[in-house]
Amino acid sequence: MDVFSSVFRSARPPVAIVGAGAVGRVMALRLADAGYPIRAVVSRTGSRADALARVVGAPVAAASLDAIPRDVALVLLCVPDDQLADVAETLTGVRLVWADVVVAHTSGAVTSEVLEPVEAEGASVLSFHPLQSLTRADDASALEGAYIGLEGPPRGIAAGIELAVGLGMRYVVIPAEAKPRYHLAAAMASNFLVTLLGMVQEVLASLDIDRRDGLAMLEPLLRGTMDNLASRGPEEALTGPVVRGDVETLRSHGLALRQHLPQLVPAYAALSVEAVRLAVRSGRLDPARAEDVLALLQRMVTTPLPPKGTDRPPVPPSVEAG
């Protein structure tokens, strides 16, 4: 393939969106904003396809892939991961000039190999994963500054680069065998941050601080931390008792957790161990002091909790069940 030639016949190829959920909606809006004609929206629920088609001016809305018009040059599959294989197989029954068609899916975890049925028909395939956390309430601006993770054979990647550039987005190319680790990084960054703040909310609730007030109170701290992370990276952004080797403060955290929030002890200790590794790596925590911190954390998880009804306040049933 000539690397300078375009995969698409036109700068803004006609598109069919399959799956009118969170990603389908945001991608359709972004594509339409960037001047890509959305020819069709197909989704399992016809009314949902209809609603999105109206917003992006697509002339065709349907619950069946058969409705995809013949002039479509890009089919973007925004369906759940476990639907991709079936949809790719069903797509082969649609009468398109496959050699002129690019089929992409938006999964971060599944490789482009799942699109093998349409690739066998002659289509170029790739995965085109928006590296962003998206909900059905989001609009095109949710993709502002976001990267696209691209994976697939060379012609698919070339199409993905054209598309990412056309959408004004940045991209990163991921080898197929590295996709699980790529998705792991994305899931840890987004899901663990959310989970961590869920834990912080529990701590604040134990102080009778309203959940909303609690998050508002922490927002400047979170923003400052994100700014430090972006400008200096994790090694320099780490502050607090672990990097200072402040064993006494860590001991007081451990006691507070054991007394009021014992369910959080294992997660606190595990994250603190990672903070120790980061602090030593940064050269700011002396390895000998790190051993003292690790020994304290080890005791935190191995010392049995006092039986209920002694120095341990009752845990709300919802927390206990969760």
Ligand X SMILES: NC(=O)c1ccc[n+]([C@@H]2O[C@H](COP(=O)([O-])OP(=O)(O)OC[C@H]3O[C@@H](n4cnc5c(N)ncnc54)[C@H](OP(=O)(O)O)[C@@H]3O)[C@@H](O)[C@H]2O)c1
Among 15, 73, 106, 297, binds ligand X (CB under 6 A): 106
60 binds ligand X (CB under 6 A): no
Nearest residue (CB) to ligand X, 78 versus 269: 78
22 binds ligand X (CB under 6 A): yes
What are the tokens at 76?
A: 């973007």
| Smallest distance from ligand X to CB 212, Å | 23
Per-residue CA distances from 45 to 48, 72, 213, 275 (Å): 5, 21, 39, 46
What are the tokens at 52?
A: 């999105």
Provide Rg for the chain, Cα atoms.
25
* Span interacting with ligand X, options 39-47, 171-179, 233-241, 254-262, rule CB under 6 A: 39-47
6 binds ligand X (CB under 6 A): no
Sequence letter at residue 163: L
User: Helices H, strands E: what count in the chain?
Assistant: 14, 8
Q: Are 159 and 126 in contact, with CB atoms under 8 Å apart?
A: yes
List helix spans (H) across 9-111. Answer: 22-33, 46-56, 84-91
What are the tokens at 306?
A: 């006092």
Site residues for ligand X, window 116-155 (CB under 6 A)?
129-130, 132-134, 136
19 binds ligand X (CB under 6 A): yes
* Span interacting with ligand X, options 1-9, 13-21, 200-208, 306-314, rule CB under 6 A: 13-21
83 binds ligand X (CB under 6 A): yes
16 binds ligand X (CB under 6 A): no
Nearest residue to 62 via CA among 20, 97, 96, 25:
20
Per-residue CA distances from 35 to 15, 16, 119, 127 (Å): 11, 14, 27, 22
80 binds ligand X (CB under 6 A): yes
Among 15, 17, 20, 126, binds ligand X (CB under 6 A): 20
Per-residue CA distances from 263 to 188, 195, 205, 301 (Å): 21, 14, 14, 11
| Smallest distance from ligand X to CB 111, Å | 12
Distance CA 291, CA 276 (A): 9
Nearest residue (CB) to ligand X, 86 versus 144: 86
Give the Cβ contact number of residue 300 at 10 Å: 20
| Smallest distance from ligand X to CB 234, Å | 23
Closest residue to ligand X, judged by C-beta, is 21
Nearest residue to 278 via CA among 267, 290, 266:
290
Among 7, 15, 18, 103, binds ligand X (CB under 6 A): 18
214 binds ligand X (CB under 6 A): no
| Smallest distance from ligand X to CB 169, Å | 13
Q: Are 73 and 13 in contact, with CB atoms under 8 Å apart?
A: yes
92 binds ligand X (CB under 6 A): no
Q: What is the DSSP letter of 284?
A: -
Distance CA 261, CA 201 (A): 12
* Span interacting with ligand X, options 41-49, 157-165, 216-224, 307-315, rule CB under 6 A: 41-49
Sequence letter at residue 102: V
* Span interacting with ligand X, options 19-27, 216-224, 254-262, 305-313, rule CB under 6 A: 19-27
| Smallest distance from ligand X to CB 52, Å | 9
| Smallest distance from ligand X to CB 204, Å | 26
In the complex, the residues that contact ligand X under the rule CB under 6 A are 18-24, 42-45, 48, 78-81, 83, 86-87, 106-108, 129-130, 132-134, 136
